């Protein structure tokens, strides 16, 4: 992994930790057709995380979300992956109790395997 990409991933995670409980996490767009990507976070007692991409064309591919949650109730891991089409991930949701500490990794790739968006973050919600 290049030093620039690694630095960008670290900055992506470091910029938003205090905002993560109300807004979300910005992803690293890895293709010029990606106009935005990330994870929105909403909800009260349960946080609802929704990964998304915004594209300038109808892209198809796959996404994978890997999350490790640590809270007073213990530690759990969630892995979700699926195909997407039409430049949208659809209504993907992950719900976690608050307060929690999360390790979140999101990978979105085009059908041929080319990377479109990446998120690698440690957040407290």
The pLDDT assigned to 7 comes to 33
Structure token digits, residue 11: 């900055």
Residues 3-124, CATH architecture: Sandwich (2.60)
* Domain positions in the chain: 3-124
- Exposure string of 52-80, with b = 16+ CB inside 10 Å and e = fewer, is bbebeeebebbbebebbbeeeeeeeeeee
The pLDDT assigned to 112 comes to 93
Q: What is the DSSP letter of 88?
A: B
Q: Is 24 left (phi over 0), alpha (psi -120 to 50) or beta?
A: left
Decide: residue 91, CB within 10 A, 0-12 exposed, 13-18 middle, 19+ buried.
exposed
Q: Over pLDDT 70: what percentage of the chain?
A: 82
Closest to 30 measured CA to CA, from 121, 122, 118: 118
* Strand ranges of the sheet holding 46-55, from the earlier edge strand across to the other edge: 24-26, 34-42, 46-55, 94-97
pLDDT in tens, 85-119: 999 999 999 999 999 999 999 999 999 999 999 99
76 pLDDT more than 80: yes
16 pLDDT more than 90: no
The pLDDT assigned to 2 comes to 38
Pick the more confident residue, 13 or 120.
120
Q: Is the pTM of this model over 0.85?
A: no
Mean pLDDT of 37-49: 93
Q: Give strand pairing partners of 65.
A: 80, 106
């Amino acid at each position: 992994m290049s030093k620039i990409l690694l630095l960008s991933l670290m900055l992506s995670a470091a910029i938003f930790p205090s905002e993560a409980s109300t807004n979300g996490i910005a992803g690293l767009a890895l293709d010029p057709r990606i106009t935005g990507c990330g994870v929105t976070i909403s909800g009260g007692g349960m946080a609802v995380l929704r990964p998304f991409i915004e594209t300038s064309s109808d892209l198809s591919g796959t996404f994978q979300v890997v999350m490790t949650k640590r809270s007073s109730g213990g530690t759990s891991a969630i892995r979700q992956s699926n195909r997407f089409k039409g430049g949208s991930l659809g209504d993907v949701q992950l719900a976690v109790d608050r307060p929690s500490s999360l390790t979140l990794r999101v990978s979105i790739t085009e059908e041929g395997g080319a990377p479109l968006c990446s998120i690698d973050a440690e957040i407290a919600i």
